[in-house]
Amino acid sequence: MQFATIRQLKNQTSKILEQSHQGRDVVITRHGSPLALLVSVDEESLEDFILVKHFNLERAFLGAKKAHRQKKLPTLDQKIASLRKDARH
């Protein structure tokens, strides 16, 4: 694991991203305190991360399955409106 300041990230973005891409996690710090974690992802690990980190997504999948079984599915326009509303929050 490596550490980089915000200034280093700004000035050496490509280098730091390449280090992350090579599998080295990079902790981004501000005034010596951790601010963000930069990790390498591929499509599969991104999907896993989203499912683990965003439990509301899993809840939405379960709700959609239940609605499908009960034949209570929203129209496409209703679903798009709902997603836009959720994105604003």
What are the residue boundaries of the structural domains of the chain, listed by start?
Answer: 2-38, 43-88
pLDDT score of 27: 96
> Is 12 strand, coil or helix?
coil
Alpha helix stretches (DSSP H) within 1-89: 6-11, 13-21, 43-53, 55-69, 76-88
Closest CA to 13 of 41, 45, 43, 38: 38
Contact 51, 58 (CB under 8 A): yes
**Is the full-model pTM beyond 0.85?**
no
**3.20.20.70, 3.40.1620.10, 3.40.1190.10, 3.40.50.300: CATH of 2-38:** 3.40.1620.10
How does pLDDT run across 31-69, given as a tens digit for each residue?
999 999 999 888 888 888 877 777 677 777 788 788 778
